[in-house]
Amino acid sequence: MVQSATPASDFADALMGEIRHNYRLGRVLVAIDGVEGTRAFADELAEAYRRADHPVFRASLDDFQRPRAARELRGANSPEGYYFDRYDLATLQRVLIEPFRLAGSTGFQTAAFDAARDVERESKWLTGPADATLILDGPFLQRPGLRGQFNFTAYLEGRQFGLDPVVIGADELYQAEAGPRFGAAAIIDVADSAHPRRSFADSC
């Protein structure tokens, strides 16, 4: 059964078209950055690629966390710990970003750690065609060490009601260090997740 279009799917189709217009061939890495709503938005964008019959892979930064003891070294309620210690960026680079970019027969992993069980995931190596897109979602994707790794970065904002104070504090550190609104190719207001809309870095 063909699903009816929605404002969110229409938006995803348009964003996918914009990205593909600029990056038609080869391996393309797309980052969906923000402190909430990124997984659902990235899933919607991936569906747009599938509707266009373009090979796409999905990954989430939450599947590249460090063990609980390491990510809570500064305490379970530390914004600094959430920002600096939570994610295993070295593993993300080694098993996903770098091998995906190499293309060819090089294998890559879209998940490395099960945070709920606090154990490493069993290695599952994937391969893909020379022309394919990887969509990675999660917070802090424009921080030093990751900025410049992606062909296109969309930054989501506009939904912080009821957000954990620890996450808010970590995001404040990120804003001060990275200024993500100004580094993104697209700023997207998802205050109403069913009706996303473009915003602009110089808006008040």
Q: Report residue 14 as tokens.
A: 């348009």
Report the pLDDT value the prediction gives residue 202, as an integer from 0 to 100: 61
pLDDT (tens digit, 9 = 90+) per residue, 149-161? 999 999 999 876 7
pLDDT (tens digit, 9 = 90+) per residue, 123-177? 899 999 999 999 999 999 999 999 999 999 999 998 767 789 999 999 999 999 9
**Helical pair 38-51 and 7-22, crossing angle rounded to 10 deg:** 70
How far apart CA 133 and CA 120 sit, in angstroms, is 25
What is the average per-residue pLDDT within 90-115? 95
Report the pLDDT value the prediction gives residue 204, as an integer from 0 to 100: 40
Q: Calculate the average pLDDT of the chain.
A: 94
Report the pLDDT value the prediction gives residue 105, as an integer from 0 to 100: 86
**Which residue segments constitute the domains of the chain, with CATH numbers given?**
7-199 (3.40.50.300)
